[in-house]
Amino acid sequence: MTSSPTAKVNLLGLDKEALKAFFVSVGEKPYRADQVLKWIHFNGVADFHAMTNISKLLREKLSEIATITVPDIIYEKAASDGTYKWLLKLYDGNCIETVYIPEKTRGTLCISSQVGCILNCDFCSTGKQGFNRNLTTAEIISQLWVAVRKLSQLNGVHDHAVTNVVMMGMGEPLLNFDNVLPALRIMLDDFGYGLSKRRVTVSTAGVVPVMYQLRDAIDVALAVSLHAPNDELRNKIVPLNKKYPLQELMAVCREYFKEDKRRSITMEYVMLAGVNDTPEHARQLIRLLANVRAKMNLIPFNPFPHADYERSDMDTILRFRDILMKAGINTTIRRTRGDDIDAACGQLVGQVKDKTRRHERYLRNANAKQANSSKEKQEVA
């Protein structure tokens, strides 16, 4: 089933309130929203004629005016550690990647929100692919729909279904807020996927105004892609910082869970050798996070072709962690998962029809560097 533009309404992308409005608009009772939402998401049904607790007349009516359409799976592969990746083809030829990470007590699905990413963070392979467009709500939630269906078919391969969702795939979720928000509501809805608010996480590089909107609109967990302890460094590796510097970002972080003292924000910090991993950087982080309820997640850098960075060695990462822990900051080191199928953090690339021509410029610059390096070696020889 390939998603495509159509006169029919794709009910896959409507949350409960939108479904109620849809049914009222076609002369039906709003309670039909609960029934159809459950059929689509809880039961995974994409055929109106299989929805046996609604009348035959309504089923025929829905078949004429609506659709339940998901992207095609054009590639799927399991990593040696059990991580699973799907490449999903959208109606316009773009492709996005979705990753499932099984663990002993949970199964986490990493979902994309954009085709490519507009932010162009310096250490991220996804950003180097350029940007095409925002995903629709249907395209966002379809990743969960597909994963749940496929995992149920893989008996013996995966022991756990999806218990957690992280909006940490391709793209910046808060730059697609209007489409991400209904998808989050479907994830939490008891007639949808019934996920706990603490098990759905939105990750942002720090789109400060929309962070306030997210806080006021829905109660989910929050992760911030921090990656640097000062503005000078963060301006370089996370360009969004030039618009929303650390002072503004920390202000919203202090306010975000102000009413719930038990909640904290996860700060994501990719460890780049010789760039942001020194003891002084750790001490700067401690000062930066003063009065912010946060836990640190240190992420070993995952390399990609032509990357200008290298991963910090484990001794450096452990030393960094220990400095933070000694200062009272709860700190974990993320285990690298799925790197043998390019499914690790920062490695998702999909197939992006890049409107920005960023990928073209990136490859041109990378090839020029490689040529210069080869020339220098020849001259030395």
What is the reported pLDDT for 349?
57
What is the rounded (10 degree) CA torsion for 45, 49, 52, 53?
A: 90
- Count Cα neighbours of 301 within 13 Å in the Cβ-side half-sphere: 25
Please say whether the structural domain 72-362 has been given the CATH code 3.40.50.300: no
What is the reported pLDDT for 378?
57
pLDDT band at 156 (very low <50, low <70, confident <90, very high): very low
Strand, coil or helix: 62: helix
- Given the residues 95, 97, 117, 268, select the one marked as catalytic: 97
Which is more confident, 233 or 351?
233
Average pLDDT of span 29-34: 97
**CA angle in degrees (0–180, nearest 5) for 88-90-92:** 150
Q: pLDDT tens digits, residue range 82-112?
A: 889 999 999 999 999 999 998 888 899 999 9
What is the reported pLDDT for 358?
61
Alpha-carbon distances, residue 104 vs 108, 160, 161, 163, 255 (angstroms)? 11, 8, 11, 11, 34
Average pLDDT of span 168-177: 95
Which is more confident, 51 or 379?
51
Q: Is 360 exposed, middle or buried (0-12, 13-18, 19+ CB in 10 A)?
A: exposed
* Least trusted range by pLDDT, from 40-44, 71-75, 131-135, 337-341: 337-341
pLDDT band at 122 (very low <50, low <70, confident <90, very high): confident
> Over the chain, what is the mean pLDDT?
88
For residue 312 the two structure tokens come to 């910090």
pLDDT band at 345 (very low <50, low <70, confident <90, very high): low
- The total number of residues shown for the chain amounts to 381
Cβ-Cβ contacts under 8 Å for 190 (sequence gap 6 or more): none
Q: pLDDT tens digits, residue range 184-230?
A: 999 999 999 999 999 999 999 999 999 999 999 999 999 999 999 99
Fold designation for 9-67:
DNA polymerase; domain 1 (1.10.150)
Which is more confident, 303 or 39?
39
From the list 14, 175, 367, 108, the residue with the least C-alpha distance to 22 is: 14
**CA angle in degrees (0–180, nearest 5) for 79-85-86:** 145
What is the reported pLDDT for 103?
87
Judge whether 345 counts as a catalytic residue. Answer: yes
What is the reported pLDDT for 372?
57
Q: pLDDT tens digits, residue range 270-294?
A: 999 999 999 999 999 999 999 999 9
- Given the residues 110, 121, 124, 345, select the one marked as catalytic: 345
For residue 28 the two structure tokens come to 């039906």
What is the reported pLDDT for 259?
87
What values do phi and psi take at 34, rounded to 5?
Answer: -60, -45
What is the reported pLDDT for 353?
76
Average pLDDT of span 347-371: 61
What is the reported pLDDT for 125?
78
Q: What residue segments make up the domains of the chain, in order of their start?
A: 9-67, 72-362
**DSSP strands (E only) in 213-335:** 221-225, 265-271, 294-300, 331-333
From the list 102, 113, 57, 64, the residue with the least C-alpha distance to 80 is: 102
Q: pLDDT tens digits, residue range 131-149?
A: 889 999 999 999 999 999 9
pLDDT band at 157 (very low <50, low <70, confident <90, very high): very low
pLDDT band at 154 (very low <50, low <70, confident <90, very high): confident
Find which of 14-28, 70-84, 365-379 is predicted with most confidence, using mean pLDDT.
Answer: 14-28
What is the reported pLDDT for 338?
53
CB 195 within 8 A of CB 165: yes
* Least trusted range by pLDDT, from 5-14, 49-58, 270-279, 343-352: 343-352
pLDDT band at 255 (very low <50, low <70, confident <90, very high): very high
Looking at the chain, the number of H-run helices and the number of E-run strands are: 12, 14
